Homo-oligomer: A and B are copies of this chain.
Amino acid sequence: MKAYREMSREELLALKAELEAAYEEAKGKGLKLDMSRGKPGVTQLDMGMGLMDALNSSSDMKTMDGVDVRNYGSLEGITEAKHLMADIMGVDQENVIVCGNASLTIMFDAVCRSVTHGVMGNTPWCKLDKVKFLCPVPGYDRHFAITQHFGIEMINVPMTPQGPDMDMVERLVSEDEAVKGIWCVPMYSNPQGYSYSDETVRRFAALKPAARDFRIYWDNAYAIHHLYDDRQDSILDILGECEKAGNPDMVYEFCSTSKISFSGAGIAAMATSKANMADIRKSLAIQTIGYDKVNQLRHVRYFRNREGLMEHMRKHAALMRPKFEAVLGVLDSELDGLGIGTWTHPNGGYFISFEAMDGCAKAIVAKCKEAGMVLTGAGATFPYGIDPKDSNIRIAPSFPTPEEMKQAAALFALCVKLVSVDKLLAC
């Protein structure tokens, strides 16, 4: 295929006419596709319905330690749920607090607690003139929404296939005491599906922050969300690396079963050092009478252990793989060699990241919407919703069926072509 940039004006105009006809036809199909969020599809949810049988009215409602999960107590979660969540994150269960139904809420609480009470005796952020977070971009919009909500200044740090630009991270973290945190999705990152290299993790662990209350917000959301049996990413255990590097308290790690069991009805957890746990416990004991231990027990009875989880996630992969492959197949065949975009080929996670030509993302998303396909808003993958180059688009293939994804990808490729031609003609 000929790259668009090498086409003459006449060729581009002819192509435009052709694409516009195809677009009108596509619009006529009355598509209704939602690829806006990383929502599990119905088949995937159906697959997990066994969870609903894991506890019934005859079940023993006591934990391995004899705790009645129906009553008050066990602020930090039941022992067997700590084991399970530790298995997901690859950490020691003694470093785990099991919480409620969403890791996002634990992250919100972690930032909020730092704002109102400070981290381990340091000045509460609400008493500081300026607090900053580093935000690897493109990234997860809900992370950025939390820091924006608390008036925290966000600084973009470019992502690479090995993780964030660590030269920049090291410089900013060591030079500026106002830098208190960094948002990371280290495994199958949102939206690229990149996993941090061992070197990246070690450089994180070896950071020398100017701020004593600097913490790495390590959102390990896709720790076991592989798409393939034979191509699986893996990352180093950041807690262990931080401890080795003499920075044991520098990380808060998060995970949940939202995309393992049910979105919003799973269990979430945090892993961190004993000293951080003691610090957090002081607030937690005021904030809650304890999280939902019945749901914790339900998850443990259903998934049992790491093997049970892995078996379940292989079934997930079998559902997700065709959706990813439908998108990638269309993008590869329709757009490869045209020079109007690049896209990631992740081994896991929930997203594909598409880089359009500069200044084209918003127009592509708008074109898709006009033809019945809702994508994550252009810009959403950047702090404040501002993508400086207006080029990044997050594709979330999890909700539609593979057949719908094929249709969606074809429409998407068409819109990319159309907008790119317009862009080139306008130059």
Chain A residues with CB under 8 Å of chain B are: 37, 39-40, 42, 45, 48-53, 55-59, 61, 68-73, 100-102, 104-105, 108, 112, 115-117, 124, 126-127, 142, 145-146, 149-150, 258, 262-265, 283, 286-295
Contacts and interface: CB of A to CB of B under 8 A. Distances in A.
21 contacts: A40-B71, A45-B71, A49-B57, A50-B57, A51-B57, A52-B56, A52-B57, A52-B59, A69-B265, A71-B262, A100-B100, A100-B292, A102-B290, A104-B287, A105-B288, A108-B287, A115-B116, A142-B286, A146-B286, A264-B291, A292-B292
A128 to B, nearest CB: 11
Which residue, A61, A115, A264, A290, has most C-beta atoms of chain B within 10 A?
Answer: A264
A286 B149 contact: yes
A142 B75 CA distance: 14
Nearest to A51: B57
A59 B50 CA distance: 11
Given A100-B100, A288-B104, A68 B45 contact: yes
Nearest to A103: B289
Contact of A293 (B39, B48, B265): B265
B116 A112 contact: yes
Contacts of A142: 286, 289
A58 to B, nearest CB: 8
How many copies of the chain does the oligomer comprise? 2
A53 B56 contact: yes
Given A52-B57, A57-B49, A289-B102, A294 B262 contact: yes
A393 B133 CA distance: 48
A312 to B, nearest CB: 14
B292 A264 contact: yes
Which residue, A37, A39, A265, A290, has most C-beta atoms of chain B within 10 A?
Answer: A265
A145 B286 contact: yes
Contacts of A55: 52
Given A105-B288, A149-B286, 20 more contacts: A42-B68, A45-B68, A52-B56, A52-B57, A70-B262, A73-B264, A100-B100, A100-B101, A100-B292, A101-B291, A101-B292, A102-B290, A104-B288, A108-B286, A116-B116, A126-B126, A142-B286, A263-B289, A264-B292, A292-B292
A390 to B, nearest CB: 25
Nearest to A292: B101
B52 A283 contact: no
Contact of A57 (B53, B69, B100): B53
B72 A265 contact: no
A108 B146 CA distance: 18
A101 B101 CA distance: 10
B71 A263 contact: yes
A62 to B, nearest CB: 10
A45 B57 CA distance: 11
Contacts of A73: 264
